[in-house]
Amino acid sequence: MKKCFLIACCLGSAMFLYSCGGGGTKESTSETEDTTATNEVNEIGATGDAVDISKPSDSKGVGPVKDYEVKPFNADLAAKGEMLFTSKCAVCHRLDTKLIGPPLQGVTERRTPEWIMNMALNPMEMQKSDPVAKALLDEYKTPMTDLGLTQEEAEAIYEYFRQVDGAK
C-alpha cells in the first residue's frame, strides 16, 4: 500500500511540473550570458536594444487578438476571469509575488490588452517571436504552457486583471 501511495505522489508531482512547463527543455545558446546583469534587462532585441520587462510595452504580441477595444469595466466578466485565474493560472502565478511565473498585479499597466490575451492564448509562439515574452522566458526559465483557453476566457482573465489593477 505504501508503494502505491509513493508512486501516486511521484506521478502527481511529475504532472504538476509538466503542466507548469517543467517538462520542456530550453534550447542551449552559444552566446555567453552575463549573470551579473540586472534581472530586469533580459533579452537583446533585433535592434540591439535590451528589453526591460518592468517597463511598459506597446506590443500587441503574436496570436489571434489583433485589435481589442477596451469596454467599460464588466464585474460579471471579471468574476468569471477570477475563477479561471484561480483554476488555471494560480498554479504558476500570484498577483503580487514571484512564483514559477511573474507576478501579474499591474500587468494591464505594462502590457496591451492584445499582448495579455495573446500570451494566454498563444504562449509558445509568443515565447518564440515576441521580445518581451522572450525576455520573460529568459528571466523565469520556465515556459508558459498552452492552457487551451478560448478567446472569451482570455478576455475574462484580462477583465479580472483590470479589476485587480483598479478598473471600476
pLDDT for res 139? 94
pLDDT in tens, 81-136: 999 999 999 999 999 999 999 999 999 999 999 999 999 999 999 999 999 999 99
pLDDT for res 134? 96
Residue 1 has pLDDT above 60, yes or no: no
pLDDT for res 3? 53
Q: Chain-wide mean pLDDT for the chain?
A: 80
- What's the CA gap between 89 and 148, in Å, rounded? 12
